[in-house]
Amino acid sequence: MSLNKTRSRFLQRLQHRKHREREGCFVVEGVRAASAALDAGADIHFAVTSPRLETLDQNNQLITRLADGDFETTSVDEKDFATLTNTVTPQGILLVCTKPAMALDSLLPDDKESGGKILVADAIQDPANLASMVRTSAAFGLDGLVVLEGTVDPWNAKVVRGSAGGCFRIKIVKTTAKECLDWIQNSSVILLTAEVGGGDIAAARFPMPWALVVGNEGSGIRPEFRDAAHESVSVPICCEAESLNAGVATAILCYEMTQWNRQ
């Protein structure tokens, strides 16, 4: 079976950020990410598979779930499937899903003392780093990830795939730096910045709700967040090492902060 031209062109458009934003949709590739989308009850428009999926899908569990879904699944050959994705080694499954619409207020529970752990990505441009931040947010039970302008699109196929399903387990809010900072200040959220030279995160103690801002590896955090921060925190490293990448640093910082909150 072949995919009709309308859907084929639609998938090709979704490889570009401006079209994802215009259409309100994104592409999910790979067995793990597709399974996570189904688990989360994502709004799926349609699915496309290739014969390779049969070799990767243990006991045909994913294939059965696709067949039971209330959306259309089209099977194509490997050559046609390769034209629909920019993945080097496709796993024979992709979904087209509606992008979730989340607001900043959704990140805070009614009882702020029992929740409100927020990560803010400030101009993170590497898809792998943002994917790691999404995955970390989900792994440590954060209430959401705020993505500011200048950051790679969280619905970029590489980010979605690299998040290992994390993008379906946390709330992701895209907004401007001004809107985010105004909201943090008006909501009485403790603002923390991750910066070289900040206080040792292992000794930090911050009640919820808090928002941790992690900035671009090259230029760091934008001045307005630095100026408004209650405190800056860091991961102490040996003097021989220049720095940790944003994804690794975020994982360590979030572990330490959520560890104290749990206790």
- Is-above-0.75 flag for pTM? yes
Exposed e or buried b for every residue in 85-107, given b needs 16+ CB within 10 A? beeeebbbbbbbbebbebebeeb
Rounded percentage of the chain residues whose pLDDT exceeds 70: 94
- Give which of 178, 138, 176 is closest to 160, Cα–Cα: 138
- Per the CB < 8 A criterion, the answer to whether 100 and 22 are in contact is no
Tell me: the pLDDT tens digits for 183-218? 999 999 999 999 988 888 988 888 889 999 999 877
DSSP code string of 55-123: HHSGGGHHHHHHHHSSSEEEE--HHHHHTT---SS--SEEEEEEPP---GGGGS-SSGGG--EEEEEES
* pLDDT, position 237: 81
Confidence category of residue 262, pLDDT binned at 50, 70, 90:
low
pLDDT above 90: residue 167 = yes
Q: What average pLDDT is seen over the chain?
A: 91
